[in-house]
Amino acid sequence: MAKEWAKWFYKSRAWKKCRAAYIKKVIGICEHCGNPGYIVDHIEEITPDNINDPEITLNHDNLQYLCLSCHNKKTFKKKEATREGLVFNERGELIKDGY
């Protein structure tokens, strides 16, 4: 994540707030494997062109919370992760779909 041009963004109050709210929303769990998460990842990568577009940078729909190992092998997208059958129940707990 050593993008020099993006440093100001990752330090911004807006991102820190967005990130914290997102982690809370997914109760700190990696959305791919269910282990404790480590990093809030942008599904559509931040680029110099979209870094000023909050629809990309601060949109929860464009975020996923991952553990380090899932982040390192990021060969999937959020939609595929939810297709594995992990859903949130009405109490905000991550459960296997159908249980």
Q: What is the identity of the amino acid at 25?
A: K
> Closest separation between CB of residue 35 and Zn ion, Å?
5
In the complex with Zn ion, the residue whose CB is nearer, 32 or 41, is 32
Buried b (16+ CB within 10 A) or exposed e, 11-26: eeeebeebbeebbeeb
Binding site for Zn ion (CB under 5 A): 30, 32-33, 35, 67, 70
In the complex with Zn ion, the residue whose CB is nearer, 46 or 67, is 67
**Contact of 30 with 37, CB cutoff 8 Å:** yes
In the complex with Zn ion, the residue whose CB is nearer, 34 or 53, is 34
**Contact of 70 with 32, CB cutoff 8 Å:** yes
CB-based burial label for 51 (10 Å; 0-12, 13-18, 19+): middle
In the complex with Zn ion, the residue whose CB is nearer, 31 or 56, is 31
> Closest separation between CB of residue 29 and Zn ion, Å?
9
> Closest separation between CB of residue 62 and Zn ion, Å?
18
> Closest separation between CB of residue 73 and Zn ion, Å?
9
